[in-house]
Amino acid sequence: MKTWHCIVGILLITTLTLLLEIPSDTWLTSATLSMILGAAALAYMAVSCLLASRWRAVENVFSGLDRVYETHKWLGVWALIFATYHFVFKANLDVWNSVPILELPKYWTRLVRQLSYVALGLIVLLALNRKIPYSQWRWWHKLSGPLFLIVILHWLSFKSPITLASPSGIWLTLLCSAGVLAALYKLVLYPFVARAGEYRVIAVSTDKGALHLTLEPINKKFDFKAGQFAFIAMQQKGLREPHPFTIASANAANGQVEFVIRGLGDYTKKLCASAKVGMHADLYAPYGRFKRQAKAEREIWIGAGVGISPFISWLQDTDVKDFEKATLVYCFNPGRAFPPADQLQAMATLRGAHFVSNPSGMESIAEVLGQAVANTEPHKVHVSFCGPQGLLVKVRQLMISHQIPQQNLHSELFDFR
C-alpha cells in the first residue's frame, strides 16, 4: 500500500458512509463537506496512531516501516488541513435532526471542540518541527495518544446525524478503538513486549564525526535480513530514547551487529561523543524491507553518506550471490567519507561487485546508468538508493533520461522525522 492509497481510501470510505446518513439534497453544501472532512480528520488521526504502533502486520501492509512513517506523517498533515475547514464551517443543518452521542453541558462541548483542534495542531506542528531537540521532541510526540482522546470526545459530544449503530458510526468506532489500543500499546507496553534483546558494545571507532559501533548480544540475539534496521536505546543518561539506524553487517552466527552512525543531529552527535566499549543497549528489531532485486539483470546501488549502511550489509550477506551484476556507487563529501572509499572498494572486489567512488556531483552516477543501459535493456536495470531526498530526485531524473522505468527504483527513506 502506498501513502496516497491510504489517504484517499480512508476519505472515500468516510465520505460514502456519511452520505448514507443525510438527505441527498444536502450533499452539496458546506455543512456536508465540513462534516466529511471533520470525520476524515478523526479517521486519519486514528490510523496515524495505528501506524505508530510498529506492529509487524502494519509494516507488512506498507512493505517497510519507513513507508509506514511516511504515511503516518502525511495523515497528520491532511488531518490538520481537513480539521481547519471543519473548525471554520458549521458541520450541521436543521434538516439533519442531529443529536450528540454523548451529552455534555454546552460549555464543555464548546471547550472540547476548541481543544480538539488545538490538540491536533500541536501534534502535527511538534511532529514536523526539526528545531526541537530529539529527546524533547520524542516526549512531546508521546502526547499524541492522550490528545487523540480529546478529539474522540469532540466527535461523541457534538450534534451530528451519526449514531454508533450507523455505517459511519461503526466505521469511526472501529478506527478509533484500534487507534486507542495502538497508542496504549506504544506508550506503555512496547518497551516490554517488543524488546529484541540487550546488547553490549564491544568495539567503537570514530573518524570525521562518524561512529562505527559493534555490539554483541548478552542473552537473546535477533535474526535479521541484510538491509534492515534497528532501534537502539543506549542504557545511558541522555541516550535512552530509541533511535533508528540501519544495520551495517550481515546476520552473523554469534549475533553481533554493526552500525555506521554520523553525528548530524543532537542525539547522534552525543552518541558519537559518548559511545564506549562496555556500554549496554536495548535493540528493538528488525524492521524494514530494503532488499536486493535478485531477478534484475543489472543492479545499481547508490549509497550517500551513512546511506551506505544497507549496502555494506548486502556485501556481507553470504546467502546471496550474483554480485558481478551489481555496481555500488558511493557518494560522499571528500572530507567526511566514513567508511573510507578504499575500504568499501575492497569489500566490493572481494564479492565480485563493481565499485565507483563518487566524491561529488552527478557525473559518476550518470556514467554508470549510461553504461548499464548500453549493455542491458533499460527495463531490466534496477536502481537501489539510500540517501538524502535531494539526491534521490536527481537520480529519478537521470533514470527518466536513460528510459529506466520508475518502478525499477527501490529506495529506503532516509529520514523518519
pLDDT of residue 135: 64
* One domain, residues 39 and 80: yes
Q: Is residue 336's pLDDT more than 80?
A: no
* One domain, residues 184 and 212: no
Query: Does residue 293 lie within any of the structural domains?
Result: no
- Average of pLDDT values for 271-281? 92
Q: Is residue 331's pLDDT more than 70?
A: yes
Query: Does residue 125 lie within any of the structural domains?
Result: yes
pLDDT of residue 352: 94
Q: How confident is the model at residue 78 (pLDDT cuts 50, 70, 90)?
A: very high
Does residue 146 have a cis peptide bond before it, meaning omega lies within 30 degrees of 0?
A: no
Which of 137, 166, 193 represents a domain boundary (last residue)?
A: 193
Q: Is residue 36's pLDDT more than 80?
A: yes
pLDDT digits (tens, 9 = 90+) for 244-274: 899 999 888 888 999 998 887 788 888 998 9
What gap in Å lies between CA 275 and CA 209, rounded to an integer? Answer: 13
Q: Is residue 294's pLDDT more than 80?
A: no
Which of 193, 218, 252 represents a domain boundary (last residue)?
A: 193
pLDDT digits (tens, 9 = 90+) for 299-324: 999 998 888 999 999 999 888 888 99
* One domain, residues 13 and 144: yes
Strand spans (E) along 188-342:
197-207, 210-217, 229-234, 243-246, 257-262, 280-287, 298-304, 326-331
Q: Is residue 195's pLDDT more than 90?
A: no
How many independent structural domains does the chain possess? 3
* One domain, residues 105 and 220: no
* One domain, residues 385 and 305: yes
Which of 236, 256, 287 represents a domain boundary (last residue)?
A: 287
Q: Is residue 400's pLDDT more than 80?
A: yes
Q: Is residue 416's pLDDT more than 60?
A: no
Q: What number of helices (H) and strands (E) belong to the chain?
A: 14, 11
pLDDT digits (tens, 9 = 90+) for 54-69: 898 999 999 888 899 8
Query: Does residue 238 lie within any of the structural domains?
Result: yes
* One domain, residues 119 and 237: no
Q: Is residue 337's pLDDT more than 80?
A: no
Crossing angle of the two packed helices 266-274 and 134-141, in degrees rounded to 10? 120
pLDDT digits (tens, 9 = 90+) for 350-393: 999 999 998 777 888 999 999 999 989 999 999 999 988 889 99
pLDDT digits (tens, 9 = 90+) for 79-118: 989 999 999 998 889 899 889 999 889 888 888 888 888 8
Segments forming the whole domain that contains residue 407: 298-412
C-alpha cell at 89: 464551517
Query: Does residue 41 lie within any of the structural domains?
Result: yes
* One domain, residues 302 and 407: yes
Give the contacts of 372 (CB within 8 A, at least 6 positions apart).
Answer: 298, 300, 327, 381, 402
Residue 348 belongs to domain with CATH number: 3.40.50.80
Percent of residues, the chain, with pLDDT higher than 90? 50
What gap in Å lies between CA 92 and CA 377, rounded to an integer? Answer: 59
**Is-contact 395 409, C-beta < 8 A?**
yes
Does residue 167 have a cis peptide bond before it, meaning omega lies within 30 degrees of 0?
A: no
* One domain, residues 386 and 347: yes
* One domain, residues 189 and 201: no
* One domain, residues 252 and 356: no
Q: Is residue 297's pLDDT more than 90?
A: yes
Element spanning 401, H or E = helix 389-401
Lowest mean pLDDT among 4-8, 47-51, 143-147, 185-189: 143-147
* One domain, residues 269 and 143: no
Helix (H, G, I), strand (E, B) or coil at 406: helix
Give the contacts of 111 (CB within 8 A, at least 6 positions apart).
Answer: none
